[in-house]
Amino acid sequence: MDNDYEDYYPGYRQANSYNLLQSGWKPLYRHFDAEYFWQLAMRDPWALAEKFLDVCSDVANAVGRREYSPLANFLNLFSENTRYEIEEFWNSITPPLPGPDYTVFQDQLSTETPIRQQVSRDQIPIDYVLRRLQEMTVLRVLAHLGRPAQIVQFYMERYFYYPVERFSSWEEISSPGTTYAFWPEHQIWLQVQTTHHNRRRYTLLGVDLRPLIRKVTYNLAVMVSGYQSRIGQVYSPYPISSFPAEIQAFTDQVQQQILQQERLAVLVHGIPGTGKTAWTQAVAHELLVPLGYVVFILDHEAVQEFIAPPYLERVCLIINEADNLAQDRASEVAQQSTKTERILSLLDGTLHQSVLDPDYLDCRQRLVVLMTCNTTERLDPAVLRKGRVDLIQEFTHRFV
């Protein structure tokens, strides 16, 4: 019973045995600032006078008890109740301790680490891969930011600070309470909270996190394919220059449309061995990665469950063998699946735009979809309708 309680409420165990001072933390006190006090007095002098009279009344009550000796009344000044009232008054007339202003630092990205995978035969672990990507993004941002200008912690109703010159990594800093760190040059706050089983939640708060996220996710690729899912980099064995001239000319057209449109869908088709998959990898590696796109290679099960992470500005989806995915709904096979409707909503954006994440209302995500298929005859006609697929090209040259 005791172990279960400590797992869910780690602060219960740490409050009795954990010593922040031995871990390098030091007490942080609020200091008087004449300018701040003057502004309070000018803004609402009556409220300030009321607070002052309240604390004077509390002190008078502490020392004016007739039923106790003068020595006992004097010692009562240092009692917990009197000290609390004096400290509350002191906090009201001194500048607040460092912490994020949530009305200013509204752009947020958080992760709980380490990420744990729930293994199930009936569920493709897409959620695990996306949570792992988010964890990697947050940790990469922290590595890029390096040493913060200040580190403070609120624990057991007291504030502590950690000397930044001793900082080496976040794993080495004990954080039983809520920890805040600040990088003024980037205007970014970090909030660290310890959850059950000694896991941590890192939350980045900034005015605009997108430039840093774009920098740390450069050249990232995610293959979402059941239990073979992985995060790495795009690999292209064949450069675009190795393709036939007509394919290179088509690639130039694709590049121009990528620069002009926020949403672009490209379909290439041809018999096996004509280099369709190799071409999508080359386009992702040579055209999209330099523009800051994060590449997702999805299998058929992943397409049905996938939603692009809203914190990414630019996303590329590679879907191979689309003719086995978006089949003509007039066929009996397609009627037994919702994959065709799923890819249609993915292409026209209705799925993502129907429900918006309140944390990313202003995020205009650029999306490029690269699809391959052996033949367009089995595709649902709605896929080829103008406005869903922007560019189509047939591959006829035996490439492999």
The residue extents of the domains of the chain are 2-27+100-208, 34-93, 217-394
Residue 383 carries which side chain, given as an amino acid letter?
A: V
Contact, 329 vs 335, CB < 8 A?
Answer: yes
Whole-angstrom distance, CA of residue 334 vs CA of residue 339: 8
Q: Which two tokens stand for residue 42?
A: 């000018």
Which among 323, 326, 350, 351 is positioned nearest to 337, based on CA atoms?
A: 326
Q: Which of 141, 152, 204, 144 is nearest to 180 (CA)?
A: 152
Predicted confidence band at 91 (pLDDT cuts at 50, 70, 90)? confident
Q: Which CATH number fits domain 217-394: 3.40.50.1100, 3.40.50.2300, 3.40.50.300, 1.10.3720.10?
A: 3.40.50.300
47-65 tens-digit pLDDT: 888 888 888 888 888 888 8
State the Cα–Cα distance between residues 95 and 162, nearest whole angstrom.
Answer: 20
- In angstroms, rounded to a whole number, what is the distance separating the alpha carbons of residues 82 and 77? 6
Element (H, E) at 347: helix 339-348
**b/e code 56-83 from CB counts within 10 Å (16+ = b):** eebbeebeeeeeeeeeebeebeeeeebe
Residue with tokens 């590595």: 143
Q: Which residues pair with 371 in a beta bridge?
A: 267, 319
Element (H or E) spanning 34, and its range?
helix 34-43
Higher pLDDT, 386 or 257: 257
| pLDDT tens-digit readout, 356-381 | 555 554 557 899 999 998 888 878 77
In 3D, which of 347, 344, 371 has the Cα closest to residue 284? 371
What mean pLDDT, rounded, does the chain reach?
83
Choose between 330 and 224: higher pLDDT: 224
- Specify the residue for token string 């990898």: 281
Q: What amino acid is encoded at 20 in this protein?
A: L
At residue 86 the predicted structure's pLDDT band, cuts being 50, 70 and 90, is: confident
- Residue 45, CA atoms < 13 Å, CB-side half-sphere: 2
